[in-house]
Amino acid sequence: MSSVVHPCEMPRTTLPPIVAPPSRSMENVFCLDRHGDVTLEIHGLHPKLIDLLLSGHLSVTTMNDLPLLVGESNEEADSRDRSVHILMSSKHLILGSSYFAALLRTPENECGRPYPIRHHRFSHRTRSNGVAFIYMLALIHCRNHLVPNAVPYHILGDMAILVNYYGVFEAVKSIGDMWINRLVYSVIPNPPPDLQLRWVMIAWVFRRDDIFTSVTRDVITMSSDKIAMTSMLPIPHIVLDKLNSAREYHLGILIQLLNTLPATIDQGCLKEHEKYGCAIGTLDGDACTESVTLIYKAEMGHLGINPPPTDPAFSGLSIHNILMQCHGFRVTDGPEYGWSGDHRQCSLWWRVAVLLERFQVPSGLDMYDQDLEVYLPHSLV
């Protein structure tokens, strides 16, 4: 059977295609449907996974423990270049996956007319260690008992890529939500950008708008450079464009606000302290103003925002870091000004704290925004 797929049927993410190999004798079979009419020959699996699948006595417990037994690495190739044949049902594949439906549907079975039974054979090479792929096929065949209720993060990430490519959202959605709920609160603090983007991808593919808004907010506030994918992830470019636009807009507002401080500092002590004889032109007032000005220049220079940066992408700057350092400005009773008490609220910390009340911390993106919703992966129904 031809494996040519019409371009309109191809998902957006580019993964190795499934092609039809020459007919060969059946060996090394892992059975998902013993009455199946589709044989998928998979290459590139982790050698430990191959041994387990072909052991002949693969239990439910072992299937559930595959992530632990196989490990995280997907770089360890099988030295003997072994493959595994998986026997499956075309009916399950057509109903559960838009990708396999495009491969297997014919005018006869599309119209419900009787058609000759034929056995389909395909070959595929996986780019991951294969555990998520095996779980995906088990879920398509309603073998949910073979899939654990919790998995490590790398399995969830691999599954999200597979869901997007093979169009198996309905088959995987329930178990995917369980995996996400068990992992979402264990995210490490201040994760690297690539990990943040993988969570954006996971939330997008599984349509978790609650998590999507939260993780996109973190990406906007914590990114210190232009947001771009470091690997092939199924995130629409419009999502990345909106993330970059939000980051640059709010960074520009924040930097502009902080650069208004010199004008207010030059006006002298705050008015509530004029009763102490600290108005501009007095000895105390001028000393206070000069002290705050010196500290402002030092702190803003350290932040890299005075003078304002000319790079429109604000490379090296993040909203999170600027806010954290602003909140860390010292308030002292003696070392900052040389006397205590009277000028506490003239300090840079107080002035910045009042100023930042006018800054609105960016919220995350809404995946059901009209500009984004049209890019959500389509359902089968």
CA 369 to mean position of chain CA atoms: 18
CA distance 243 to 218: 10
Contact (CB, 8 A) for 191 and 335: no
H or E segment to which residue 288 belongs:
helix 283-303
* Beta bridge partners of residue 121, listed in sequence order: 39
* pTM, to two decimals: 0.80
Alpha-carbon span 87 to 368, nearest angstrom:
39
Q: Print pLDDT tens along the chain (381 aa).
A: 444 444 444 445 555 566 555 444 455 789 999 889 999 999 888 888 998 988 877 789 999 999 998 887 666 666 677 889 999 999 999 999 999 999 887 665 555 544 455 788 888 888 777 899 999 999 999 999 999 999 999 999 999 999 999 999 999 999 999 999 999 877 666 778 888 899 999 999 999 999 999 999 999 999 999 998 766 788 999 999 999 999 999 999 999 999 998 888 877 776 655 554 455 555 456 667 777 888 888 888 888 888 888 888 899 999 999 999 888 776 543 444 444 455 666 778 888 888 899 999 999 999 998 888 878 766 543
Report how far residue 369's alpha carbon sits from residue 174's, in angstroms, rounded to the nearest whole number.
24
Taking Cα atoms as reference points, which of 202, 37, 167, 33 lies closest to residue 109? 37
The domain locations on the chain are: 7-186, 251-356
Q: Which two tokens stand for residue 125?
A: 């090479």
